[in-house]
Amino acid sequence: MTSLMEKVAVVTIAATMPLVVATSASAEGEKYVLISHAPDSDSWWNTVKNGIALAGEQMDVEVEYRNPPTGDVADMARIIEQAVASGPNGIITTLADFDVLQGPIEDAVASGIDVIIMNTGTPEQAREVGALMYVGQPEYDAGVAAGMRAKDDGVTTFLCVNHAIQQPTVGERCRGFADGLGVELGDSMLDSGTDPSEIKNKVLAYLSSHPETDGILTLGPVSAGPTMQALNENGMAGDLYFGTFDLGDEIVEGIKSGVIQWGIDQQPFLQAYLPVVILTNYHRYGVLPGNNINSGPGFVTADGLTKVEEFAGEYR
């Protein structure tokens, strides 16, 4: 754990005062709320919860994580409104659907609450709603980088398994991947849903009806695991080029076994940890980074799994 904290300190040194002195300026009742679009069933967000909890402990502030249990973005908008009414010092939120969430976020800013956008959305959208900054991985740009990598490796046609079709920003990964490959997206983006059995069956059906497919992209652990099961079932595991967004235990095992070529690490720990540190130091000392922070994309392959495997699902 010591080595992990040393790494975090290096990453955040430009944006923070030394954490050891932060408690001396602690104000009574400092509170920050992180609101995500994630359903309760998505374990990938455990790393985000760990990030905000550790930042709260180190900065000596109260932190709270909230989300819509089913992933419903309209429900998320109501949660933002409720958070604003509670009067926290700052709100950290994803921007999963700009049209739905713009109003509540702008209302938070208008009420005097400092906001940082994390994970989903773009720096441009963060600026438009009046947020201080954006901390995350620009989804389209990450998709383009993944597509260019796949193109260099010989991929020409692909399937993108989208388990979060209701969140427009997630689909930008698929669109970016197609542009990186230099092909039309067409019907290559599959609305898989989140049920593991349905995902597996839909992937099997697509590959059966599109035998020319030579690459596959999943958008996180929710779809990666069932897709691996599909490839094991139809005998294509290890033969079909397979990349995925995000990390997790199953994805790490897939990379180790050679079924998955790479996973994109957007470092969700930093997406939660850094905003708490930044907001706290901004309120205490008036310091604020001058730029948005891109936490990804970083490609994790079998050659770089040591730390990832050690902390997968916890800090990676």
One-letter amino acid identity for 31? K
Whether residue 116 lies inside any domain: the answer is yes
Q: How confident is the model at residue 170 (pLDDT cuts 50, 70, 90)?
A: confident
Question: Is the pLDDT confidence value at 19 over 70?
Answer: no
Mark whether 102 and 146 lie in a shared domain.
no
Mark whether 104 and 145 lie in a shared domain.
no
Taking a C-beta distance cutoff of 8 angstroms, is the pair 252, 305 a contact? Answer: yes
Q: What is the pLDDT of residues 26-64, one digit of tens each?
A: 456 899 999 999 999 888 899 999 999 999 999 999 999
Question: Is the pLDDT confidence value at 3 over 60?
Answer: no
Whether residue 87 lies inside any domain: the answer is yes
The whole-angstrom separation of Cα 192 and Cα 230 is 13
Mark whether 26 and 128 lie in a shared domain.
yes
Whether residue 314 lies inside any domain: the answer is no
Whether residue 311 lies inside any domain: the answer is no
The whole-angstrom separation of Cα 24 and Cα 315 is 27
Mean pLDDT computed over every residue of the chain: 90
- List all residues 6 or more positions away from 280 whose beta carbon is below 8 Å from its beta carbon: 22, 30, 32, 55, 59, 61
Question: Is the pLDDT confidence value at 74 over 80?
Answer: yes
H helical segments located in the chain: 2-12, 19-22, 46-59, 73-86, 98-110, 123-128, 139-152, 168-181, 196-209, 221-234, 249-257, 268-285, 306-311
Question: Is the pLDDT confidence value at 15 over 90?
Answer: no
pLDDT of residue 189: 97
Mark whether 18 and 120 lie in a shared domain.
yes
- Say which CATH number the domain at 147 has: 3.40.50.2300
Write b or e for each residue in 197-228: b if 16 or more Cβ atoms lie within 10 A of its Cβ, otherwise e. eebbbbbbebbeeeeebbbbbbbbbbbbbbbb
**Residue 26 or 22, more confident:** 26
Question: Is the pLDDT confidence value at 24 over 50?
Answer: no
Q: What is the pLDDT of residues 198-230, one digit of tens each?
A: 999 999 999 999 999 999 999 999 999 999 999
Closest CA to 266 of 149, 125, 139: 139
Mark whether 286 and 188 lie in a shared domain.
no
Whether residue 203 lies inside any domain: the answer is yes
The whole-angstrom separation of Cα 267 and Cα 298 is 8
Mark whether 150 and 247 lie in a shared domain.
yes
Question: Is the pLDDT confidence value at 20 over 80?
Answer: no
pLDDT of residue 27: 52
Mark whether 206 and 190 lie in a shared domain.
yes
Question: Token pair of 48, please?
Answer: 């985000």
Q: φ, ψ for residue 264 (rounded to 5)?
A: -90, 120
Gyration radius (Cα) of the chain, Å: 20
Q: How confident is the model at residue 308 (pLDDT cuts 50, 70, 90)?
A: confident
pLDDT of residue 316: 83
Question: Is the pLDDT confidence value at 133 over 70?
Answer: yes
Question: Is the pLDDT confidence value at 23 over 60?
Answer: no
Task: Flag whether the pTM goes above 0.85.
Answer: no
Mark whether 151 and 205 lie in a shared domain.
yes
Whether residue 156 lies inside any domain: the answer is yes
pLDDT of residue 309: 84
One-letter amino acid identity for 147? G
Q: Which of 246, 265, 284 is the last residue of a domain?
A: 265
Whether residue 283 lies inside any domain: the answer is yes
Question: Is the pLDDT confidence value at 247 over 70?
Answer: yes
Peptide linkage before 268 cis (omega within 30 of 0): no
Question: Is the pLDDT confidence value at 264 over 60?
Answer: yes
Mark whether 167 and 70 lie in a shared domain.
no
Question: Token pair of 89, please?
Answer: 């010092």
Mark whether 84 and 150 lie in a shared domain.
no
Question: Is the pLDDT confidence value at 7 over 50?
Answer: no
Q: Which domain holds residue 206?
A: 139-265
**Residue 57 or 308, more confident:** 57
Q: How confident is the model at residue 67 (pLDDT cuts 50, 70, 90)?
A: very high
Provide the phi-psi class of 210: left if phi over 0, else alpha when psi is between -120 and 50, else beta. beta
* DSSP 8-state secondary structure symbol assigned to residue 147: H
- Give the number of domains in the chain: 2
CA angle 300, 301, 307 (to 5 degrees): 60
Question: Is the pLDDT confidence value at 302 over 80?
Answer: yes
The whole-angstrom separation of Cα 300 and Cα 308 is 8
The whole-angstrom separation of Cα 44 and Cα 42 is 5
- List all residues 6 or more positions away from 81 whose beta carbon is below 8 Å from its beta carbon: 104, 107
Mark whether 11 and 133 lie in a shared domain.
yes
pLDDT of residue 28: 63
Please identify which residue in the block is written with the tokens 């944006």. 15
Q: For the chain, what is the total number of helices (H) and then of strands (E)? A: 13, 12
Mark whether 226 and 118 lie in a shared domain.
no
Whether residue 145 lies inside any domain: the answer is yes
